[in-house]
């Protein structure tokens, strides 16, 4: 993707958009996965396997919701991104 930015009309602007979009799309799921992993470890250490299942399910649902939001975000800005001058 970085190499393809060079063929656009304004490669610097395209790189800026690419970096901002990828950081927004990846930072939230990464933070969520770190938090869920820590929570699962704590619950396992406390000997509560039923809580581990609940935490894992909640984490998966939240991650799926974040995926839908990220997809909608990227799709909603596709017209703006294509008009970089």
Residue-wise pLDDT for 21-63, tens only, equals 888 788 888 999 999 999 999 999 999 999 999 999 999 999 9
Task: Give me the domain span that covers residue 73.
Answer: 12-81
| Residue 40 included in any domain | yes
Q: Indicate whether 7 belongs to any domain.
A: no
pTM of the entire structure? 0.70
Assess if residue 49 is contained within a domain: yes
- Looking at the 3D structure of the chain, how many domains does it have? 1
Greater pLDDT, 49 or 10: 49
The answer to whether residues 82 and 11 touch, using CB atoms and an 8 Å cutoff, is no
Domain assignment of residue 45, yes or no: yes
* Residue 28: Cβ-neighbour burial (10 angstroms; 0-12, 13-18, 19+): middle
How many other CB atoms are there within 10 angstroms of residue 5's CB atom?
A: 18
Residue 35 included in any domain: yes
Evaluate whether residue 5 is within a structural domain: no
């Amino acid at each position: 993707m970085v190499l393809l930015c060079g063929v656009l009309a304004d490669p610097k602007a395209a790189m800026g958009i690419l970096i901002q979009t990828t950081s927004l799309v990846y930072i939230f799921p990464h933070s969520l996965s770190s938090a869920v992993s820590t929570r699962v470890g704590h619950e396992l250490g406390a000997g509560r396997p039923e809580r581990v299942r609940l935490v894992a399910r909640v984490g998966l649902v939240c991650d799926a919701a974040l995926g839908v939001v990220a997809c909608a975000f990227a799709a909603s800005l596709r017209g703006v991104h294509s008009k970089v001058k």
